[in-house]
Amino acid sequence: MTDRYQRFTNSGFGRQLVKRLGLPNPTPLRRHRPGDPLLDGPALLGAAPGGRLADQLARVLKTAGVDTGGGDTNAALVFDATGIDVPEDLRALYDFFHPVLRGLGRCGRVVIFGTPPEGATGRVAQRALEGFVRSLGKELVRGSTAHLVLVEPGAEDRVESTVRFLLSGKSAYVDAQVIRVGGGPATAPDDWDRPLAGKVALVTGASRGIGAAIADVLARDGAHVVALDVPAQGADLAAVANRVGGSTLQLDITAADAPTRLVDHLRTRHDGVDIVVHNAGITRDKKLVNMKESAWDAVIAVNLASQLRVNDALLAENAIRDGGRIVGVSSIAGIAGNTGQTNYGTSKAGVIGMVEAYAPLLAERGGTVNAVAPGFIETKMTAAVPFFVREAGRRMNSLAQGGLPVDVAETIAWYANPASSGVNGNIVRVCGQSLLGA
């Protein structure tokens, strides 16, 4: 979709006018292209005294080909804050970042590592890190982002996939998020450019928009994609599957026999599945006082109830392999709510509940379940939104622009990576740090 305002602000006259009037100034984001280096410049690595991750982070960055010597301009600032135990120790954040923030390059990255507060000796000080990161994310300019990664003690060797994702252009529209890394066997892929080679991935709602982008990215990373959608979308679905070298399954996932048919298909054709992405979703927007019961029932059935039925069938029949990944697509509407979307917000909050409920079950099998929560994403659906509502959606985030379907897809691919075994039970917003929600 075309963001004409962003094109204007990046013209000569537009840059002058934006600066003079203090208008939003969205920077074109650095997005991943095959063959790109992780960063387009050096990273500066720092640590508070007593931290436990600095050596591991240095090894990961070296393996990824990142220069950690630092410079006058840095593409990333990486800080190990696990040694912060008392409020006075928080001064280490100021001492490290204050002198170097002005030298953070365009579309730079700030990544801070801490310990989950509930398991930390310095619980209060570690909880304070979240306020620092979320505030800093709103101060950064020129497309830069900030994140907090909470690493459980003993999970130090499971951070690589998360480091690579957050530093790369794959996380372009992910900003000011708190990510938890815990237990699980760390299995680095043979090829970081094709980490899903040999995997089978099911993507529901795959015929268009975000679903088609998910299919593209998972296939790029080596997976065979089983693209699923309703029969009415058969032509578009076939086009997506052909483009990515995958296969199709035309199925209404709300049908009573859908879970059984899906399990049979996956076991017969593919001997099971490794990655399940619950992307299928619908909207039937009306204020509750004007909403018909059919609109309520349809949204809950497609967006939530069908996912639980599919999960239960896959797990009961062992159709999802050990180490498998389940990814739900929630929404910031499920976090912050939205006028006219009581049914949709309810269903998307339920997806978050699904992640919380199933995370222990998947962990027992060496697998994970996580969700993405997109904000304003440029699709045909948002292109049809009234102009002023659309502009508000684009500008009301720290990056002052809408995201792209590929931004959601890249986040899902990070969850699916075999090296992301420690990332379980997370809800990551893909919203440019929307001003709505937490």
- Can you give the pLDDT at residue 4? 79
Query: Backbone dihedral region of 222: left (phi > 0), alpha (psi from -120 to 50 degrees) or beta?
Result: left
C-alpha span between 211 and 46 (Å, rounded): 39
Mean pLDDT over the full length of the chain? 95
* 303 and 254 Cβ atoms separated by less than 8 Å: no
189: pLDDT strictly greater than 60? yes
**Rounded distance, CA 270 to CA 344, Å?**
33
Give the residue numbers marked as catalytic.
Answer: 344
Tokens of 405: 């379907």
What pLDDT is recorded for position 354? 98
What tens digit of pLDDT does each residue of 68-122 get? 988 899 999 999 999 999 999 999 999 999 999 999 999 999 999 999 999 899 9
What pLDDT is attached to residue 65? 95
How crowded is residue 244: how many other Cβ atoms within 10 Å of its Cβ?
23
In terms of DSSP H, where are the helices of 172-305? Answer: 209-220, 234-244, 258-270, 293-300
What tokens does 174 get? 């992910």
The mean pLDDT value for 190-204 works out to 97
User: Distance of CA 176 to CAs 129, 348, 390, Å?
Assistant: 11, 21, 23
Q: What is the pTM of this model?
A: 0.96
The domain spans of the chain are 31-181, 200-430
Residue 187 — pLDDT band, cuts 50, 70, 90?
confident
Give the whole-angstrom CA distance, residue 306 versus residue 255.
9
Query: What are 209's two structure tokens?
Result: 């928009």
Decide if 31-181 and 200-430 have a common fold: yes
User: Encoding tokens for residue 317?
Assistant: 């029949």
For range 124-136, the mean pLDDT: 98
CA distance 204 to 216: 13
The answer to whether 168 touches 145, Cβ cutoff 8 Å, is no
Write out the two tokens for 319.
């159709």
At 438 the pLDDT is 56
Within 8 A by CB and 6+ apart from 210, the residues are 279, 329, 374, 377, 379, 405, 408, 409
| Helix 54-63 / helix 160-167 crossing angle, nearest 10 deg | 60
Nearest residue to 401 (alpha-carbon basis) of 378, 379, 373, 382: 378
336: amino acid identity, one letter: A
- DSSP code of residue 229: E
Q: Which CATH number fits domain 31-181: 3.40.50.360, 3.40.50.720, 3.40.50.300, 3.90.1150.10?
A: 3.40.50.720
The pLDDT assigned to 1 comes to 56
Query: How confident is the model over 298-321, as a mean pLDDT?
Result: 97
What's the whole-number mean pLDDT along residues 38-54? 96
Q: Give the three-state DSSP class for 178.
A: strand
What CATH fold (topology level) applies to the domain 200-430? Rossmann fold (3.40.50)
Q: What is the pLDDT of residues 253-265, one digit of tens each?
A: 999 999 999 999 9
| Residue-wise pLDDT tens digits, 229-248 | 999 999 999 999 999 999 99
CA-based nearest residue to 89, from 132, 32, 147, 39: 132
